[in-house]
Structure 1
Amino acid sequence: MTVTTTVAELRELLASDTPPVLLDVRWALGDPHGRAHHAEGHIPGAVYVDLDTELASAPSPEGGRHPLPAIEDLQEAAHRWGIRQDQPVVIYDDSGNTAAARAWWLLRYAGLSRVTLLDGALGAWRAAGLPLESGPPTGPPPGDVVLRAGALPVVDADGAAELAVSGLLLDARAGERYRGEVEPVDPRAGHIPGAVSAPTGENLAADGTFLPAEELRKRFEERGAGAADRIGVYCGSGVTAAHQIAALEIAGFEAALFPGSWSAWSADPGRPAATGGRP
């Protein structure tokens, strides 16, 4: 399936008789002002999506900081966003799609196939000199899409531990968090024993677009993807890991998400933590 849409392709789609739903997932760790950023300037027609309340359920030690929402809640949100059956969806943020990928993954997990990320995110739209609109978001006509969970693979903590031994488990966090040098938000520092470091930021070129497929494939093969029967990904709370899954798909690999990620793993005192640069 196609993972990305270019700015040029999006312009054509928006001018067509069947324009896509355009979702703006403005979110970053430590920045709770996504709605205000959207109001300051967004791609015309884009609907604001709140990651904390619409793309996740309430945090818990067992589920982590961003548990997956119930499929009924996600469908209700998709109706608010105006998604209709068989309508394409294009998603972006202002951080290289590291947050937008959460919405991309969830909608794909819920059975939608015509869902893509705007390659280069909002930065690419700005770089093309295209207009933004400002003001508070307005609600589109309600959608009618029907969602069903399970179209993409997931693993729980036991499954992630098993993958770290018998498959390939990638840690999508920054290297210093993987090594346990810093831990700004979760209960303990370190990584799941056996997991391989593969920071999400390394999926992107300097302009915020995904690296070419052959470069991504080489990157993941160097971390063992070519020889692995099964691949899993985790991050801090299951958000940027979705970006890693998108990059893996561009490279030709399928991977399962560990939704609770390190936030759930590290909250369980019975789970071991490794530190340093080696799995």
Structure 2
Amino acid sequence: MKKTILVFCFILLTLCLVSGNILAEYQTSEIVESEDMILIDSRSSYSYNGWAIDGKVGGHIPGAVLFSTKWLENLETNQAIKNELNRFNIVKNKELYVYGDNSDTLVDKLNELGYKSSQIEVDLKEYDNLAQMENFEMLVPPVWLNEKIKADQVFVLEASWGDQSEYLKGHIPGSVHINTDAIEEGPIWNRKSDEEIIKSLGQHGINKEQTVVVYSVADTTPAARLASILKYAGVNDVRILDGNLKAWNAAGYELETEKVEVEPVDFGAKKVENPEYIIDLKEAKKAYDNPNSDFIDVRSPEEFRGETTGYDYIPKAGRIKGAIYGYGGKNAYDMSDYRNPDNTMISYTFMESRWLEQSVEAENQNNFYCGTGWRASEVWFYALALGWDNVSVYDGGWFEWSENKQPVVKE
């Protein structure tokens, strides 16, 4: 993790006690580095990433750690809160300074749990050097999506595997359901042919010039899988509703249950326009021999070590020889290493710092892989949001690689 950067006025300006918390009023952007302090941003991940919501400033003070007060609603026990704090390296032997929405609530909880925490007042409008995720617009908040739906400025897709039963229970108004079988097929579960993909997208009413927002009911991976195909095919503006349907419901917006019918349209391209975004075995073998190319494994630790294959239809366990562990989740159906307690994308600063610690370098060509492509698509999308350009999804993943006598290792 980068050294924590704290506002210089923490030390210099007059402090006053209010309800047991320290409040500091200041108008300076001078900063000081300290190993003994942590600055915490208690706002939503949307605001932290860069979204200006409700007229407020988007972005965060450089060096601030995200820990949203709203996450307390998702963490049912004090131990769960402590576990999450520990995950983000928020520890008891450091002074914690908290700013942002409902920071007093978070400070009270931190102090109750034995942390040394103080609340500070920050006017972010006074800062001209706020940090933000380079392409934060790729992960949208519910409030933005709701406004765009009302203005008829987005095309919304709900992605899932299988029938429309969940979709018909309640979906975002105007959203069109797409079964992932429309874009991929077994037994390896690679994407369909380019011609089939372009035809299928057009049949679902998608034109490449639209702003397309994709979401899933809960798990992000179906939405990410579809998003990767959309960008591969050439849709110019693809976004994911960060937090999925759960975030939409939490924001208090209505659902509808009637199926949305669409007229087929011309996709707007005769061939895929971004073939470099998804590679197959042929390209993967070339990438493997390139010293400036890395394979990033985003499966569970047990899959990476070869203790399990993750899926009953994948017979062999292990990993691509030389692959870098890029974090994943508890099992083949979990991506908690990349999720906040409210299911939004984990803090991008935390994600990037962990990659760098693993020697995953933005300058290299990074090929993300999992079992068959879904989990890799999610992490790949996040990498694009970070501004990492040299990234691809190895579509066949471990399943295809292990079945084709390629270099592997098993601990």
Normalising TM by the smaller chain, what interval? Answer: 0.7 to 0.9
TM-score, length basis structure 1: 0.85
Partner of 2:138: 3
Which residue matches 1:160?
Answer: 284
CA deviation after TM superposition for structure 1 residue 10, in Å: 0.2
**Structure 1 residues 152 and 249 mapped into 2: Cα distance closer, same or farther (>3 Å)?**
farther
CA distance in 1, matches of 2:244, 2:288: 32
Match of 2:340 in 1: 205
**Residues 177-192 of structure 1 correspond to what in structure 2 (within 5 A)?**
177-183=303-309, 184=311, 185-192=313-320
More strand by share: 2
Is this contact kept in 2: 1:168–1:228, CA < 8 A? no
Give yes or no for contact 1:216–1:251 (8 Å, CA) kept in 2.
no
- Name 2:202's counterpart in structure 1: 79
User: Cα distance 1:162–1:95, how it changes in 2: closer, same or farther (>3 A)?
Assistant: farther
Deviations 1:13-55 (A, max 9, x none): 0011x3311111123xxxx4x521112221121111111x212
Separation of aligned partners in 2, 1:151 and 1:46: 25
Query: CA–CA distance in 2 between the matches of 1:257 and 1:38?
Result: 27
Structure 1 residue 152 displacement after superposition: 4.8
CA contact (8 A) 2:210 2:235 kept: no
Among all aligned residue pairs of Structure 1 and Structure 2, give the percentage whose two residues are the same amino acid: 26
Q: Where in structure 2 are the equivalents of 1:36-115 lying within 5 Å?
A: 36-51=165-180, 53-56=181-184, 58-60=185-187, 64=188, 66-115=189-238
1:206 deviates by 1.3
Q: What is the root-mean-square deviation of aligned Cα atoms in Å?
A: 2.1
Deviation of the 1:59 alpha carbon: 2.2
Match in the other structure for 2:377: 242
Out of 224, 237, 257, the position equivalent to 2:359 is 224
Structure 1 residue 69, shift from structure 2 partner: 1.7
Q: 1:95 to 1:195 in 2, by over 3 A?
A: farther
CA distance in 2, matches of 1:227, 1:152: 20
Q: Is the Cα contact below 8 Å between 2:324 and 2:360 reproduced in 1?
A: no
Question: Per-residue displacement from partner, 1:133-181 (whole Å, max 9, x unpaired)?
Answer: 224x332122222233141523333543564562321112122112121
Residue 151 (structure 2) pairs with residue 24 (structure 1): no
Distance 1:49 1:234 in 2: 23
Tell me the secondary structure at the aligned position of residue 191 of structure 2.
coil
The TM-score, its normalising length taken from structure 2, stands at 0.59
State the AA in 2 paired with 1:261.
G
Tell me by how many angstroms 1:193 deviates.
0.8
Taking the aligned partners of 1:227 and 1:247, their CA distance within structure 2 comes to: 13
Asked if the contact 2:208/2:234 (under 8 Å) is kept, the reply is no
Distance 1:84 1:134, change over 3 A: same
> In 2, distance between residues paired with 1:145 and 1:227?
32
Distance 1:84 1:162 in 2: 33
Q: 1:228: how far off?
A: 4.9
* C-alpha distance in structure 1 between counterparts of 2:284 and 2:322, whole Å: 10
User: How many equivalent pairs are there?
Assistant: 262
User: What's 2:248 paired with?
Assistant: 125
Task: Answer whether contact 1:217 1:252 (CA < 8 A) is retained.
Answer: no
In structure 2, do the counterparts of structure 1 residues 248 and 77 end up closer, same or farther at CA, with 3 Å as the change threshold?
same
Change beyond 3 A, Cα 1:249–1:152: farther
Per-residue CA deviations over 1:187-216 (Å, capped at 9, x if unaligned) read 201111111222342222111111233222
* Unaligned 5+ runs, structure 2: 1-134, 329-334
